[in-house]
Amino acid sequence: MPLTIPREEYMQQGHTACAGCGATLSMRYVLKGMGPKSAVVVPASCWSVIPGELPYTSLKVPLLYTPFASAGAAISGLREGLDAQGKQDYNVIAFAGDGGTADIGLQGLSAAVERGHNVLYVMYDNEAYMNTGIQRSGSTPYGAWTTTTPVGSKRDYKRENKKFVADLMMAQNAPYVATAAIGFPEDLERKLSVAKSIKGPKFIQILSPCPPGWNYNSADTVRVSRLAVESRIFPLYEFRNGKLTLFKPSKTVPVSQYLYLQGRFSHLYDSEVKVIESAVEERWQSLLRKEQV
């Protein structure tokens, strides 16, 4: 049987991610797509503990840890350093979580895109600060339970909407912006090969479900990510040369099907699910309008 994604593994066994981790699959696919001539920069996030403690490492490519806010600055410096040594064929990748991208690292990312370095910034979006114990981030969606937006006798679930960093990068007119989901690895590999062919700052946001943080059975990781796309709550799109291309799933499912699978949304009443449904539809329509411009 021909394989649909590259066979080579640059992420090795024995890492310390939870069972069913979506972020690990993201890294596996990104390194498969980018190849052995890559250097990965990881700010504080789940991925700063997954590769293992010294002297262990689970990646076959060089890995650089940076403070929380500096992934954008570190990839800029690494790129310029490699270029000065004449190593233009190396790919420089930042692999940051949503806290390190949407909240703490946003200025570093925005500045790196503005300066126009030839780098790839991957945001693996697990929609909260999972490594430190599921605290709410700017990327947490409306209605979600986290440890800082708890739901008990007082229903203090998150009342603010998700910040879509890919939309921000589109507004900044980055040469290549894409969203992807681990449930569609072939689509992600294609987007990575497009990103590889473009010189300049690239940004890819990958939805990476988290079994303990989203409170679902670890066997459902890929299913949840696929449902997120089919229910349009996480639309897949590509932005290149100022043109937006939206992926329209052939099969659509109600948003409630995605929400009910996860414990973090189990407190929502039907009326609140309706609010989410209408917000999802509104965003979908606005993306459709942007596509036609």
Partner 1 sequence: MPILPITYVSTSTREMSSWRTSKPIIEYSKCTRCAICWKFCPDVAIDLVSDPSIKSPNEKFSSLEAPLINLNYCKGCGICATECPFGAIEMVREEI
Q: Which residues make beta-bridge pairs with 187?
A: none
Cβ 184 to partner 1 shortest distance, Å: 11
Cβ 150 to partner 1 shortest distance, Å: 27
Q: Which range touches partner 1 (CB under 8 A), out of 22-30, 94-102, 112-120, 247-255? A: 22-30
User: Among 33, 72, 175, 185, which residue interacts with partner 1 (rule: CB under 8 A)?
Assistant: 185
Cβ 21 to partner 1 shortest distance, Å: 5
Q: Binding residues for partner 1, how many (CB under 8 A)?
A: 36
Letter string b/e over residues 39-58, b meaning 16 or more CB atoms within 10 A of that residue's CB:
bbbbbbbbbbebbeeeeeeb
**Nearer to partner 1 by C-beta: 28 or 232?**
28
Query: Cβ distance 192 to 243 under 8 Å?
Result: no
What does the per-residue mask of binding to partner 1 show for 216-235, with x meaning CB under 8 A?
-xxxxxxx------------
Cβ 80 to partner 1 shortest distance, Å: 20
User: Among 45, 46, 48, 51, which residue interacts with partner 1 (rule: CB under 8 A)?
Assistant: 51
Query: Cβ distance 209 to 225 under 8 Å?
Result: yes
Cα separation of 145 and 266, whole Å? 9
User: Among 56, 147, 173, 245, which residue interacts with partner 1 (rule: CB under 8 A)?
Assistant: 56
**What does the block give as tokens for 113?**
């895109």
Cβ 83 to partner 1 shortest distance, Å: 22
Residue 33 interacting with partner 1 (CB under 8 A): no
